[in-house]
Structure 1
Amino acid sequence: MLYPYLSTASGLSQWLADDVTINEDKVFNFIWDEEDHKARMVSHRNNHYVKFEFLPETEDDAEDPAYFELRLELNELTQSVFIKITDYSDMDDNEELFDLWHSLVENLKETVGG
């Protein structure tokens, strides 16, 4: 049930960004605060994980691109599903980054009713 919220433009736009679109070349456009951030889904496994890599804006970005990965994992003891987030970006403030993702996951919980 959660995977479409992690892997489709319509699902992502409900909780992750102000809007998310996808073009004919399968480039996702994440819009935050009226700014475009283009990314490709570079890997995925249905109902398990998705990884988005942002398209380079500078030469340095091309050598070391930013990405985020959303992975659905099952706690076998409790049978509950949780999301493991990997955010590889140039954001230096880990506390702010944690707060940002925590807020976004809360948006997701509200969206799916969980």
Structure 2
Amino acid sequence: MPKKKYQVEFSIKSSPSLLYNYISNPSGLSEWFADNVNSRGEKYTFIWDGHEESAFLMKSKQDSYVRFQWEYDEDTKYFFELTIVEDDLTNDVSIVITDFAEEDEVEESKQLWESQIEDLKKILGSV
């Protein structure tokens, strides 16, 4: 069954460079995205409650975005991307999540991102 692409955007009070550290490196990701994150080169291992999932860092641009692809999606076009957007006029910073989910799991997936971004905001003191 094909997955559906969706995007969610969250306003975050943070500088792009600080935010980038939390979305791009294992120690930053392990503070809000997973219980623990390890990396060997482009391969990242995410651990939740003893369960491991591996993803590959496909693309990244300093202070701008990261794109990962789950190992189980390796031969597909599916990925998840975290993009940092800074408004030129207001300097407000947002994070835009692009992800894929089964049609009947999109809302649940969005809620999971919402919960994780709330954790990120608490760490950044941006609540």
Query: What is the TM-score of this pair, normalised by structure 1?
Result: 0.86
Matches within 5 A, 1:95-110: 95-110=107-122
Matches within 5 A, 1:34-113: 34-56=50-72, 61-64=73-76, 66-90=78-102, 92-113=104-125
- Bigger relative contact order (CA 8 A; separation at least 6): 2
Partners of 1:74 and 1:36 in 2: CA distance: 33
**Gapped runs of 5+ residues in structure 1?**
none
- AA aligned to 2:121 is K
Which of 14, 19, 40 is equivalent to 2:31? 14
**Offset at 1:79?**
1.4
The answer (yes or no) to whether the contact 1:54–1:65 under 8 Å persists in 2 is no
SS of match in other structure, 2:112? helix
Report the identity percentage.
Answer: 38
Q: RMSD of aligned C-alpha atoms?
A: 1.7
**Gapped runs of 5+ residues in structure 2?**
1-17
SS of match in other structure, 2:23? helix
The answer (yes or no) to whether the contact 2:44–2:56 under 8 Å persists in 1 is yes
Query: What number of residue pairs does the alignment pair up?
Result: 109
